[in-house]
Amino acid sequence: MMKPEPSLTPAKTDDLIVFSNQYDLRHDMHAFMEYVQEREVKRSHRSNELSAADAKRLAKLMSFSSALEEVNTSGFSKWVNYVDEVALLFEFVKYDTEGIYAGYTSSEPSFPDNYIEVDSKRYEEFIDLPLIEQEKKLLDILVKNYIDGKNEFYITSVLGRLSGFSTWGSATGIMPGLDLAKPRRFLIEILQTCKTDVWYTTSSLVQYLKKHHPFFLIPQKPRYEYERDAKDGRYANFHEQKEKWGSMEHVQERDADAFERVEGRYVERFLEGLPLILGYIEVAYSMTEYKGSLPEMGQLLAFRVNDKFLHVMSGEIMEPMVTVQPNFEVHVESELYPVRTLAQLTKLADVVAKDRTSVLKLQKKKVLTQLSQREDLDVIRLLENISGQELPQNVRIELEEWIGVSEAFTMYEKVVLLEGDKDLPDIDQFTIESISPSMRIVHSPDRLFTHLEQKELIPLHIKHGSSAFTPLPDGAHTVFPKLDSSLSKSKAGARAKKPVTIKREVQITFHFPAKELMEEFHKELLAARCPVAVDWSKLTLSFARQYESEIKKVSKSLNQDYTIKIEDIA
């Protein structure tokens, strides 16, 4: 097929209904994958659809609020179902799509215990690709998706409004042998010749195809499923009707407007399908009530392509541009959803806004959590590598302080403290860290509890309050208080006085006259790995007296810029 060089007619859209896709399929597919990775998702027994509860939760994660409105109104979302289908096409997920027929009288399949399984390896390999490669794979998989009648002739696009031809007779004639990926790619090639932000009439595109590429969709000599179908001609699969439930007549190839009635209808439905779903184009519909033969024709009157489409087609999509701001915001600018970059950053920051430029804000708690979980993590280097530039000085100083705090303690989440005999069976698989032979930090407490019961032990779950320990039953071997602990202590005290030693630690606090000097002092202390408590609001640094010699060294190192005198507060 020759390279298309159409001369399309510009359109005016003042009296048309303009529609653009507010969803971002890339974002929503990744939101879907994150959701199904984090929980067990069981599909409906009868329809094999997502449950209403899962559909609603997923709709809240989508990039446009219309999905949630649809679920609240109808109990499901066509867009969420489409995202689910795309994940299945990629084989990121797997579940039974055929079902079983339970009993001789079953006319419909059922899907018992049909859970979504995730292929994490395949998904991770995909998101590790450059954005342009991800986009090419997404485009390719949608271009090839026309199995089981899922094509523009018969199915209304998830975002479309035009109905399809009747499927009556679609298993015969030319349809089974029609390669729809080829015309889709050809139409995409034609769209690449369009200028951005210029509206073109759909009719001029149809007339160009009719004149120069009349067989772009249906070959001049198509392959028929059955030889006897050849007598009915190339258009025998396409039936029109005056009313929705009226009698049907197939389009005759000899009719002067046969191309417009078949290929023309296809072009309209293609435009409101794949390129609209991917956010490559906008479309405009007639405002006039349609009164012609069904399915509708001449209703999608205009279209225009955007920069993103042309950049994707030319391979000019740039990788995300990341900037760390002095106010601890991280700006991520990208034409396509930067899933890998945001996956890294959301572990350290909260999302403030999502758009072509996403805005996140670094959070101390998240940073400390990551530092506690990954000993090899260098937060500063990570952010500088992602952004390709040095961090603002105040951000670097604050992060260094957070890192210093993280080195003083380890933060654990979703764990419990296990106290028990040192030789408990198969306990190492749950152990995160052993504190003593009889005490350890463990994960998965529910599974551990079941495991201990299966070993014919008697585990006891105790939840302590935020301000005091919950007393354990009398007779428990524990370091924690027991129900009779106060009585035992009073008796023991009556018999003998218990010797105790209270240790004292003296803290020294420096009050600085200016923030600039305090920042330099603080930076030198961090370099010397001296633990220090910082209060920027009061301009104070506090440290244990045992580090006073290190403090004097730091003070001496700053003498070339300052004459420092230290005096006690009366």
The 3-state secondary structure of 293-323 reads CECCCCCEEEEEECHHHHHHHHCCCCCCEEE
pLDDT confidence of 148, banded at 50, 70, 90? low
Mean of pLDDT values over 203-217: 97
Cα dihedral value 188, 190, 193, 197, nearest 10: -60
Q: Strand, helix or coil at 16? A: strand
Q: Measured at the alpha carbon of residue 330, what is the angle toward residues 328 and 336, in degrees to the nearest 5?
A: 170
Q: What is the pLDDT of residues 63-79, one digit of tens each?
A: 999 999 999 999 999 99
* pLDDT above 50 (res 197): yes
CB 481 within 8 A of CB 469: yes
Q: So what's the pLDDT on residue 536?
A: 78
Which has the higher per-residue pLDDT, 202 or 417?
A: 202
pLDDT band at 3 (very low <50, low <70, confident <90, very high): low
Flag whether pLDDT at 207 surpasses 80. Answer: yes
Q: Is the pLDDT of residue 506 over 90?
A: no
Q: Is 113 left (phi over 0), alpha (psi -120 to 50) or beta?
A: left
Backbone φ and ψ for 308, nearest 5 degrees, come out as -55, -45
User: Which are the contacts of 293, defined by CB distance < 8 A and separation ≥ 6?
Assistant: 240, 241, 242
Ranking 251-265, 342-356, 506-520 by mean pLDDT, the lowest is 506-520
Q: Which residues contact 263 (CB under 8 A, 6 or more apart)?
A: 206, 209, 210, 214, 216, 217, 218
Give the mean model confidence (pLDDT) for residues 362-373: 89
**What value does the mean pLDDT of the chain take?**
88
Q: What is the dihedral of CA 352, 353, 356, 357, to 10 degrees?
A: -30
**Residue that wins the pLDDT comparison between 329 and 564:** 329
pLDDT given for residue 278 in this prediction: 98
Burial of 272 (0-12, 13-18, 19+ CB in 10 A): buried
**pLDDT interval class at 487 (50, 70, 90):** very low
More confident position, 138 or 459: 138
Indicate the residue type of 27: H
The pLDDT score that the predictor gives to residue 410 is 61
pLDDT, one tens digit per residue, over 442-455 is 888 878 878 887 77
User: Residues 349-359: what's their mean pLDDT?
Assistant: 88
Asked if residue 506 lies in contact with residue 545, where contact means CB atoms within 8 angstroms, the answer is yes
pLDDT for residue 101: 84
As a whole-number percent, the residues of the chain with pLDDT over 70 amount to 93
User: What is residue 411's predicted lDDT score, i.e. its pLDDT?
Assistant: 61
Query: Encoding tokens for residue 250?
Result: 């197939």
Token output for 204: 């001029």
- Tens digit of pLDDT for each residue in 391-430? 999 999 999 988 887 655 566 677 888 887 877 888 888 8
Q: Do the Cβ atoms of 260 and 297 come closer than 8 Å?
A: yes
1 pLDDT band (50/70/90 cuts)? low
Element (H, E) at 82: helix 78-89
Q: Is the pLDDT of residue 530 over 80?
A: no
Predicted local confidence at residue 492, as pLDDT: 46
User: Higher pLDDT residue, 406 or 85?
Assistant: 85
Say which residue, 218 or 423, is predicted with more confidence: 218
Alpha carbon of residue 498 to chain centroid: 60
Whether 105 shows a pLDDT value over 80: the answer reads no
Q: Is the pLDDT score of 165 beyond 80? A: yes
Return all residues near 94 (Cβ < 8 A) that are at least 6 apart: 88, 116, 117, 118, 119
Contact 348, 362 (CB under 8 A): yes
* pLDDT reported for residue 416: 83
Q: Quote the pLDDT of residue 311.
A: 96
Sequence-ordered alpha helix ranges (H) in 459-533: 485-495, 515-527
From residue 180, how far is each of 142, 146, 359, 538 by CA, in Å? 11, 7, 40, 70
Q: Quick one: DSSP state of residue 196?
A: B
